[in-house]
Each structure stands twice: as structure tokens, then as C-alpha cells.
Structure 1
């Protein structure tokens, strides 16, 4: 997406929370996409990754950081503001669920 400081966003995330950067997640129409992974314990308890789309401004990036620091999926509820950014994962789109 033009006008978005992708490198700055990635750097801010990397200095704050564990991050893996990927070139493509097959949801380009929702760029920038951030996938928030649950902790191992939360995943064992049934939590699943949450896909967020259109995370294109510094405030949204800070909201993601705050949620991850609070525990993320399965530990802390998804902040209401980030709920507006949730998108289906590509696999659920392909299966007709999204």
C-alpha cells in the first residue's frame, strides 16, 4: 500500500514484540496484514491465530503491540478497535468459510 511506512511499522513491531515478516500471506487486498499468534499455552487451550487486515497506521500498530503484551489470543480479549480489523485466514477463504 502506498503512503504506508512498511519498514517503520515492521521496525516498531520488532522492537516491541516477537515478529516474523513475510513477503506474502495471500491476502494482498487487506495489506498490511498482521497475524497475532497465541502463546503455546493459549494454543494448547484452544486459542487460534487472529488475522488483522488494513493495519496501516501507527495507532493500529500500537493497538496490536498492546494486545500482544497483554497476552494476545486466548489470554487477553481482542480490543474492540482491533475487532474491526479481523479478517479470515486464507485457508478459511478457500474452504468457503470466509
Structure 2
């Protein structure tokens, strides 16, 4: 649903969880799998496909996991962006960019965070706060919606 459609539904009094604005959006986990992230050339020995599938399984219905071609932050690969749910955004949460997501314990911590509510509703568990990276405004605004 486009932003315009969501706004129209909200004005008409939808039935979702967000005060008549339509269905609430879940925590979104965006996994970079482009030119550097997710490649054996840059990170030999890492089971990138297996990590992605384990993340999807661990997040389950608590959020949405998707892969994109490139987030243009190759120096920090593998990059994952955890976006807040609509409830988390209303509470002040913003997308959190994580770099160097290479170990399975990080996959587990990301899934735990999603199950706890994600940005705006819960602090990142374990060592995830050490993986946070800053990106340029141009890159941050380019994240697919």
C-alpha cells in the first residue's frame, strides 16, 4: 500500500491498530545481499544463504525479513537495517544500521530484538549496540520502503 493510500485510509477511519490509520506495519529487517555483502569473495567461510534463512526462521511472524541488492555501505559489510514497526516509530524509533553482521549470535540477537519490539520499543540485546554504524543521509534516505 502506498503512503497516499495509507493516508486516505487513515482519513476514512480504517480498522487497524494505529488509531484508524490502517494495519500496523511490523519491524522490518533489511539484509544487504549485493556487491559486497553476502559474497564468498569478501567473507569466505560465512554461510550467507544459511544465515539469511536462519534469520527469516528466527524472526518468523514477529517481523518481516527481506533482502536487497545493495545498501551502498560496502565498507561495513555485511549490513543489516532494523526498521521500527509503526508502533516503534510512533515511540520515536528510527531505522538502526548494523555493520559486520557475520556471526550466528548476531543473527539470534537481531531476531530477539524483533521479538522484543525492535527500535523505539526495546534496546538492542547483547552486543548489537557495538555493531551500529552511521550512514550518510543520502544512503539512509535511499533505503527501499
Does the TM-score normalized on the shorter chain lie above 0.5?
yes
Aligned-residue Cα RMSD (Å) equals: 1.8
Q: What does 1:1-98 align with in structure 2 at a 5 Å threshold?
A: 1-17=43-59, 18-91=64-137
Q: Which runs of 5+ in 1 are unaligned?
A: none
Greater RCO, 1 or 2 (C-alpha within 8 Å, sep 6+): 1
Shift of 1:13: 1.1
- TM-score w.r.t. structure 2 length? 0.59
Bigger strand share: 2
* Larger gyration radius, structure 1 or structure 2: 2
Q: Is the 8 A contact 1:31 1:53 kept in 2?
A: yes
Give per-residue Cα distances to partners, 1:3-27, cap 9 Å, x unaligned: 2111011101111222010121101
Give the 3-state SS of the residue equivalent to 1:43 in structure 2.
Answer: helix
Given the two structures, how large is their TM-score scaled by the length of structure 1?
A: 0.85
The runs of at least 4 consecutive aligned structure 1 residues that moved more than 3 Å come to none
Query: Which ranges in structure 2 are unaligned for 5 or more consecutive residues?
Result: 1-42, 141-145
What is the CA–CA distance in structure 2 between the aligned matches of 1:82 and 1:48, rounded to whole Å?
Answer: 15
